[in-house]
Amino acid sequence: MIDPNHLRTLRALADHGTVVAAAETLHLSPSAVSQQLNSLARITGCTLLEKRGRGVVLTQPAKILLEHADAILERFEQAESDMRSYQQGDTAVLRVGGFSSALQCFVADAVSTALHRNSGWSIQIDEVESEESMAMLLDRELDLSVVMIAPNRPLLADRRISLEPLLTDTYRAVVPAVHPLGALDELDRLSRLAYEPWVLSRHWTSTHEIVMAACAVAGFQPRAAHNTTDFAASVAMVGHGLGVSVIPRLGLPRIVPDSVKILPINTDPPTRHIAVAVRSGSAQPGSPLAQFRSLLKETVAHLAEPMTLAAAVSRAAEAEQDEAKKADD
């Protein structure tokens, strides 16, 4: 009979390319990995690996077996999820990943709420970019991750991963408050920024790809005056008059300096799609993982718009006046 653990080992080898890398992922010795693969070959009666140079490649029988392995492992994932839910009762240990702006804006909030509602839960957060987090899910180093869906992330199409849309994050134009555009409440089109110096994300980031594609659709290529991977740094540069920028809503600080103006873009704004990723079969209805996924949706539904410091102070003063009035009544 085929051992599911041996199927996991074959899958790890297919994902990571070498026996040594598969062993590291599975926390086994290379010899143990080789023994499991040899055992799997004996049971199936097929040669699964062929030497090529200093490494090995999967044979056609191994690739056929992997098609079945993914479906079998998904069923085991479902069974393990059901058993954990039954055994743990009110307890759960979850490992949650996500990219930086998602952690800042809603993941940390959702984790805090989950721990407050469920005293027996333990949740660990890891900041990790989307592509890496998908690999960590498959390697069982994460249970759930908040990811950006983008064409350059092939693991997002892996059927071993279940994706559920979370929100669409629309980019906003950020201009100096003293700029002529700072007098506007919204930007009618992105091309209004065509001749401005830009603060751009680094070329290897998904934000750079998204913004460059949107600018191309708008008929221009932005001129990069400055580059950064930090959205807060972008806002600061714009506030000092060093250029303009386009930043996703989630990347904006909740309180922005009075020296910048945030403008929605009416026509074809850059947009990124954000989803929750789990291993297929792992988030069974009623399980802690399914509950936390629902809590993330609940949290993003109540995200507040960024505001300037002056607006925040004004709102706080209004709230104090309302409370004082209620107390007098």
Tokens 């809603």, residue located: 106
Average pLDDT, the chain: 84
Residue predicted with more confidence, 43 or 229: 229
Task: Flag whether the pTM goes above 0.85.
Answer: no
Rounded to an integer, the average pLDDT of 71-95 is: 67
Which two three-digit tokens encode residue 167? 């929100």
User: DSSP label at 193?
Assistant: G
Q: Is the pLDDT of residue 205 over 90?
A: no
Mean pLDDT of 238-251: 95
Residue 88 has pLDDT above 60, yes or no: no
Q: State residue 315's pLDDT score.
A: 67
Residue ranges in the chain assigned as alpha helix (H): 4-16, 19-26, 30-44, 60-88, 100-102, 108-117, 130-138, 206-217, 231-239, 288-300, 309-328
What is the per-residue pLDDT for 240?
Answer: 96
User: pLDDT (tens digit, 9 = 90+) per residue, 17-69?
Assistant: 777 787 777 777 878 877 877 777 787 777 777 777 666 777 787 777 777 76
Task: Give the tens place of pLDDT for each residue, 248-269.
Answer: 999 998 888 999 999 999 999 9
β-partners of residue 4 are: none
Q: Which tens digit of pLDDT belongs to each residue from 214-226?
A: 999 999 999 999 9
Percent of the chain residues past pLDDT 90, beyond the cut: 46
pLDDT exceeds 80 at position 75: no
Residue with more model confidence, 292 or 45: 292
Is 72 a residue whose pLDDT tops 80? no
Provide the angle, in degrees to the nearest 10, between the axes of the packed helices 4-16 and 19-26.
120
CB 221 within 8 A of CB 212: yes
> What is the dihedral sign for C-alpha 67, 70, 74, 77?
positive
Rounded distance between C-alpha atoms, residue 241 and residue 175, angstroms? 8
Tell me: pLDDT of 89 over 60: no
| 322 has pLDDT over 70 | no
pLDDT of residue 197: 97
Does residue 86 have a pLDDT over 60? no
